[in-house]
């Protein structure tokens, strides 16, 4: 599972690939349609699509002469489950934590004198 997560997060790290995934949320698209809004070559887009496909985030299918790309939303499930594990913790209120520590330190006996 770690290798799969590494591939998914690596694929998601690039803004172009995230934009491609957002486009594919709408509908399946031909590779040429995916490439249209980007200022890069078709070969560069094909590399991005290959990385997304290797990570399992998209699938590609040849229909006649056209290659179609389809979003595979289930591929992000393991990554989503992994990230949700961090959501179980409430955010730390550092100001409240600082007030707590100040109260504890002023109420605590002098540690220096007990160590002598």
Asked whether residue 43 is domain-assigned, the answer is yes
State the pLDDT confidence band at 92, using cuts at 50, 70 and 90: low
* DSSP letter, residue 91: P
Asked whether residue 48 is domain-assigned, the answer is yes
Per-residue three-class SS string for 68-93: EEEECHHHHHHHHHHHHHHHHCCCCC
Unique residue bearing structure tokens 């389809």: 70
Angstrom distances, CA of residue 54 to CA of 6, 33, 47, 90, 113:
11, 20, 10, 35, 63
Asked whether residue 89 is domain-assigned, the answer is no
Q: Which two tokens stand for residue 88?
A: 């179980």
CATH for 9: 1.10.10.10
Asked whether residue 44 is domain-assigned, the answer is yes
Average pLDDT estimate for 26-44: 96
Asked whether residue 113 is domain-assigned, the answer is no
Asked whether residue 87 is domain-assigned, the answer is no
Task: Decide if pLDDT at 26 tops 60.
Answer: yes
Task: Decide if pLDDT at 44 tops 80.
Answer: yes
Q: Which is more confident, 11 or 82? A: 11
Q: Which two tokens stand for residue 87?
A: 């959501």
Neighbours of 79 (CB within 10 A): 19
* DSSP letter, residue 79: H
Asked whether residue 92 is domain-assigned, the answer is no
Asked whether residue 76 is domain-assigned, the answer is yes
Range of the domain at 59: 1-81
When divided into structural domains, the chain yields a total of 1
């Amino acid at each position: 599972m770690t290798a799969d997560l590494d591939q998914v997060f690596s694929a998601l790290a690039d803004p172009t690939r995230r934009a491609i995934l957002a486009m594919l949320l709408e509908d399946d698209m031909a590779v040429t349609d995916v490439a249209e809004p980007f200022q890069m070559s078709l070969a560069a887009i094909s590399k991005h699509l290959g990385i997304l496909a290797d990570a399992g985030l998209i699938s590609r299918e040849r229909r006649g002469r056209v290659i179609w790309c389809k979003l595979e939303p289930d591929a992000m499930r393991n990554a989503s489950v992994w990230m949700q594990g961090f959501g179980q913790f409430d955010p730390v209120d550092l100001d409240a934590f600082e007030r707590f520590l100040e109260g504890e330190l002023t109420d605590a006996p002098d540690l220096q004198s007990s160590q002598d």
